[in-house]
Amino acid sequence: MKALRDKLRADSGAGELESVQAAFDVELKDYQKKTHQQIQKLQQDVQAATAAVESFAGSVNESEINLESGIKRELNSLNQAAASNDIEQMRSSNHLAIAQLKDEIRLLHEQVEAASHSQLPDPSSESHQRISGRMEELIKRDTSFSVLLVVVRNLEGLGNCYSPNVIENSLRNFQSCFENILPSSAIVDRWARDQFAAILSPRPGNAIELSNDVVRKLSGPFLERDKGGMHSILFSPRAGVIEFSPGSDWPRFQTKLKKLAEALNS
């Protein structure tokens, strides 16, 4: 554009002026093309953000609804700017709307993340304390027992696809199914956000076979319904068994449990 301006300032005939006009038309079309491409990319971002809002529709609050409306409002501004014949207006509107739209999308992602984490159990929840207390009690009695630990490896990925309510309902069914697989004497509870533990006494003679059976049956699908319809949840669990031998202590056993969880999650 600077080169075209310099040509116009120089002494030139009609032929040169027509050449400058033609070059300007090419530059303008190229700018409009790039602008439309940028708008299309932002539209895709908005669609992805909107899908994220809908994925936890059951927990959407008024502020999140206003945020989605803001995104749509800025997208409309971009479309209006693209339709304008005023190149300066287009440029000014684009810069402002693009900046605002990116900020709206960033805020939306932050709210999605916060909503997801706020509705998931804390690793130090009552269920964790309940089952760890039972283990401590057995250790103090120097009683042999085993812990069958199950780690859900794809919980974070599922949280990006389904609402927290759907995930939590599925995990409750997951726990019930886990309990039904095991002997009635087993004690099953949530050990961490993505982990479930079962206390078995005495240690099963076929621990490997039992672990494989647990993994197979807990892989799903688990069917859950919400406002968005019916969902089929497929978990990716791994299981392992660790035994408490008389003479050991609680801190040492906790360390072994932690290492087992890390191995199952790797």
Predicted local distance difference test score (pLDDT) of residue 31: 72
Predicted local distance difference test score (pLDDT) of residue 15: 59
Predicted local distance difference test score (pLDDT) of residue 226: 83
User: Which of 123, 262, 143, 129 minimizes the C-alpha distance to 202?
Assistant: 143
Predicted local distance difference test score (pLDDT) of residue 67: 55
Which residue ranges form the domains of the chain, and what is each CATH number? 2-118 (no CATH), 126-264 (3.30.70.270)
**CA pair distance 122, 259, nearest whole angstrom:** 20
Residue 248 Cα to chain centre, angstroms: 40
Predicted local distance difference test score (pLDDT) of residue 204: 72
> Are the beta carbons of 164 and 226 closer than 8 angstroms?
no
**CA pair distance 142, 113, nearest whole angstrom:** 44
H/E element, 229: strand 229-233
Predicted local distance difference test score (pLDDT) of residue 120: 45
Consecutive 10-residue averages of pLDDT for the chain (266 residues) = 57 59 70 75 62 49 53 62 57 63 62 48 70 90 91 92 91 94 91 92 79 92 87 94 85 90 91
User: Which of 124, 112, 104 minimizes the C-alpha distance to 46?
Assistant: 104
Predicted local distance difference test score (pLDDT) of residue 36: 73
The token pair at 122 is 């804390």
